[in-house]
Amino acid sequence: MGSEVTPLTPRYLALDLGGTNVRAAIAGVEGSLVTILGRDERPTPRESAEAIVAALVASARAALDAAGLRASDLVAAGCSAPGPLDHRTGVVHEAPNLTGFVAFPLGARLGAALGLDVFVDRDTATAAIGEALAGAARGARDFVYLTISTGLGGAIVSGGRMVRGASGTAGELGHWPVALPSCAGVPRCGCGAPGCAEAFAAGKNLAERAGRPDAAAVYAAAAAGDPGAATCVRDAEEALAALAVGIANVLNPERIVVGGAVAEHEPAHVLGPMRAAIAARAFRAPAAAVRVVPASLGPDVGLVGAALAACERAAGRGEWFL
């Protein structure tokens, strides 16, 4: 990531709307090279959807000031947001962790406030776009992006095209069932169903099951010999292992790109079990074809993906991920 930015380098606004913070960056884009020219980050408001939009707009203006630019200097904007949403219209259907985001026209509201075309997409899809064009999935036509952080989600690219599904929710891999609901002690996921991979392996759920403040504390306690924490970590590993085997057998990707804070900080408990399970349990042909690799864009994946998505869609070249 990064290139020499000249006065002729097209500039884009990238917005990353998270449950904890909103972030904005001004990015110079040359092909797949993205250079951050100015950025801003601030807490996500809790009181209303309009307050969240106002925070995004304020963050965008602060990033513009940091870059010494005006909105009129930009080509377009991309926004990475929680779903489910309609990436063509920019309407968020429902984001449970964001107040007021029910049938909310996020793209239109941001566009009106900023005076720019704003292209909205689901956060995991935006991350997959970033990793595909500038990261660990570069050159792959069949890959799965998986994020393991507070939650667990993903995106699927098959034959060089993003898989969206009939209602646009394809890639919700955190809700892949990995345990039978009738088994004793199966945790219930935030979606309401028992036995989802997210219920075992997402950072928030892992911490709640172990009675610890966060996932890092669970892994630390397990390493120190706490039996309860060790059981929760083992369950998370087994859930990710089962998920990886299912992805390999059913989707037959050449790469599974794994990002998110938990994966970044605990690769031995995330990438290791996934690789071992595929080698031991997946069908021979898909197991031989796939590599499980760490994501390469780190915390900026949403901003980089949003900038690249805005560039491609503004130029009419976004067909592969639409």
Position 4 in a domain: no
pLDDT, average across residues 257-263: 96
Q: Looking at the structure, tell me whether residues 155 and 212 fall in a common domain.
A: yes
Q: What would the pLDDT profile of 266-303 be if each residue is shown by its tens digit?
A: 999 999 999 999 999 999 999 999 999 999 999 999 99
Name the residue among 232, 266, 262, 244 with its Cα closest to residue 150: 262
For residues 221 and 306, state if they share a domain.
no
pLDDT at residue 191 greater than cutoff 90? no
What percentage of the chain carries pLDDT values higher than 70?
99
Rounded average pLDDT over 174-183: 88
Give the model's pLDDT for residue 127.
97
**The pLDDT value given to residue 93:** 93
Q: Mind giving me the DSSP string for 60-85?
A: HHHHHHHHT--GGG-S-EEEEE-SSE
Split at pLDDT 50, 70, 90, the class of 184 is confident
Residue 26 to residue 210: CA distance in whole angstroms: 40
Do both 250 and 216 map to the same domain? yes
pLDDT classification of 1: cutoffs 50, 70, 90: low
| Residue 90 domain-assigned (yes or no) | yes
- The pLDDT-based confidence of 193 (bands split at 50, 70, 90) is confident
Q: Is residue 151 located within the same domain as residue 181?
A: yes
The verdict on 92 and 236 lying in the same domain is no
| 255 inside domain | yes
Q: Is residue 93 part of a domain?
A: yes
Same domain, 312 and 228: no
Full domain range(s) for residue 246: 139-295
Q: What is the model's pTM?
A: 0.94
Indicate the number of domains in the chain.
2
> Does 154 lie in the same domain as 271?
yes
Output the pLDDT for position 123.
Answer: 95
Mean of per-residue pLDDT scores for the chain: 95
**pLDDT-based confidence at residue 35 (cuts at 50, 70, 90):** very high
Tell me the C-alpha distance between 182 and 299, whole Å.
38
Nearest to 30 by CA among 13, 12, 9: 9
Residues 52 and 111 in one domain: yes
Coil, strand or helix: which one is 5? coil
Q: What Å distances lie between residue 268 and 140, 232, 276, CA to CA?
A: 24, 15, 11
What pLDDT score was predicted for residue 2? 56
- Per residue in 130-162, pLDDT tens? 999 999 999 999 999 999 999 999 999 999 999
Query: Could you tell me if residue 2 is inside a domain?
Result: no
Residue 234 in this model has a pLDDT that exceeds 70 = yes
pLDDT at 3 over 70: no
13-25: per-residue pLDDT in tens? 999 998 899 999 9
Say if CB 277 and CB 184 are below 8 A apart.
no
Q: Does residue 211 sit in the same domain as residue 313?
A: no
Residue length of the chain: 322
Does residue 18 lie within any of the structural domains? yes
In a domain, 192, yes or no: yes
Asked if residue 310 and residue 250 are part of one domain, the reply reads no
220 and 244 part of one domain: yes
- The answer to whether residue 133 sits within a structural domain is no
Whether residues 87 and 211 share a domain: the answer is: no
* CATH number for the domain harbouring residue 153: 3.30.420.40
